[in-house]
Chain A
Amino acid sequence: MRDPRCKKIFAALSAYLDSELPEPSCRELQRHLQGCKPCITYLESLKTTIQACRRHPISKAPRPSPRVRAALLKALGR
């Protein structure tokens, strides 16, 4: 992956996955991916990583403290 073209693609992979890459760069990246298996493999692994983050479960939280509840009720005029 030390080919200069791969380096350029490597820097743009997140923007590509987030659909935030400008159209010409997106087309260039897609053309490169058609012939570069290391970049395709890396892209897939990056996608899996992002999915793992997005599906990471939220922690079970303790109940809000009575102090917080009272402060918010007061702010709402109750």
Chain B
Amino acid sequence: MNAQVEQALEILKSGDARAFDRALESLQAAVYSFGMRFCGNREDAEDTAQETLLRLARQLKNFPDARALAVWLYKVAKTQCLMSRRQSKFAPAQMLSLEALMPPQHEPAGAPGKSWEVTPEEIALRREFRDHLEQAILSLPKPYRLVLILRDMEELETREVAEVMGISEETTKMRLHRARVYVRNALAKYMPGATPRFSFRTAHGRRPRGAPSGSITS
């Protein structure tokens, strides 16, 4: 579970008056950030945070522990995001086929100058890279986007993601892998020398609207 969320909920449940505002701000930051990652705009993220925390006030005493409450909180935030007024215009509704996401047969291995070998710190600092990452995530179909955000950004465990999504752990793992591969392939465009060509076709053989172009030249 996201440690920041769980800790803030523990503080609220404990009734510690001195730590109340700190815990509230921490929760606001976490839910707002989740909303930004999923919806991609401030207005929907603010609505998500407001509505989720108002509902939290009504449920605070009804959960035995902070972890169960955190799972519930993510379920509510997810629902709020799905109901948001300003849906991403990029996200396709199609399912992703792993076959279509696979690299082609003759992808050169270890192309000279490939820049996947950047350090995580460098990644975090590159504003342009972050923008491309955000766009790639926003162009994922919603079921895949949610799983990727919950697992790789909110850092929930697989079983917790499955619980929030109401799906099996196997389906969670399948969606997570396809989402990661999709984002990786989208980012490859901005990693000179890393990838010659990838196909972004859906199970129906169409490229999702707004998805990265199907031909990437190294």
Cβ–Cβ contact A55 & B120, under 8 A: yes
Per-residue CB contact flags for chain B residues 56-72 toward chain A (1 = under 8 Å, else 0) read 11101100000000000
Q: Which A26-78 residues have a C-beta within 8 angstroms of B? A: 37-38, 40-42, 44-46, 48-59, 61-65, 67-69, 71-76, 78
Chain A neighbourhood of B45, CB < 8 A: 59, 61
Cβ–Cβ contact B25 & A52, under 8 A: no
A interface secondary structure, majority: helix
How many angstroms from the CA of A75 to the CA of B207 in the assembled complex? Answer: 49
Per-residue CB contact flags for chain B residues 186-201 toward chain A (1 = under 8 Å, else 0) read 0110010011000000
- Name the residue in A41, A51, A74 with the highest tally of chain B Cβ atoms < 10 Å from its Cβ: A41
Q: How many pairs of A and B residues are in contact by the CB < 8 Å rule?
A: 147
- Name the residue in A11, A38, A41, A61 with the highest tally of chain B Cβ atoms < 10 Å from its Cβ: A61
Cβ–Cβ contact A71 & B54, under 8 A: yes
Cβ–Cβ contact B24 & A59, under 8 A: no
B173 within 8 A of A: yes
Interface residues on B, range: 35 or more
Supposing A37-B110, A65-B50 touch, asked if A73 and B116 sit within 8 A by C-beta, the answer is no
Q: What residue of chain A has the Cβ atom nearest to residue B126's Cβ? A: A52
Q: How close is A18's CB to chain B, nearest CB, in angstroms?
A: 7
Cβ–Cβ contact A54 & B153, under 8 A: yes
Cβ–Cβ contact B98 & A45, under 8 A: no
Per-residue CB contact flags for chain B residues 123-154 toward chain A (1 = under 8 Å, else 0) read 11000011001100100000000001000110
How many angstroms from the CA of A68 to the CA of B152 in the assembled complex? Answer: 28
Chain B neighbourhood of A7, CB < 8 A: 102
Chain B neighbourhood of A69, CB < 8 A: 21, 24
Chain A neighbourhood of B60, CB < 8 A: 72, 75-76
Which of A1, A55, A59, A71 sits near B103, CB closer than 8 Å? A1
Which of B61, B117, B181 sits near A46, CB closer than 8 Å? B181
Per-residue CB contact flags for chain B residues 151-182 toward chain A (1 = under 8 Å, else 0) read 01101001000000000000001001100110
Supposing A51-B123, A53-B133 touch, asked if A2 and B102 sit within 8 A by C-beta, the answer is yes
Per-residue CB contact flags for chain B residues 88-123 toward chain A (1 = under 8 Å, else 0) read 000000000010001111010110001011101101
Chain B neighbourhood of A15, CB < 8 A: 173, 177
Given contacts A38-B107, A38-B109, A41-B110, 19 further A-B contacts (CB under 8 A): A1-B105, A14-B180, A14-B181, A20-B158, A41-B116, A44-B117, A45-B194, A49-B180, A53-B133, A53-B148, A54-B153, A54-B155, A55-B121, A57-B124, A58-B33, A59-B37, A72-B24, A72-B60, A75-B58
Can you give 17 contacting A-B residue pairs, CB < 8 Å? A14-B181, A15-B173, A15-B177, A20-B158, A40-B109, A41-B114, A41-B116, A42-B103, A45-B116, A48-B117, A49-B184, A52-B129, A53-B148, A53-B153, A61-B25, A68-B24, A68-B50
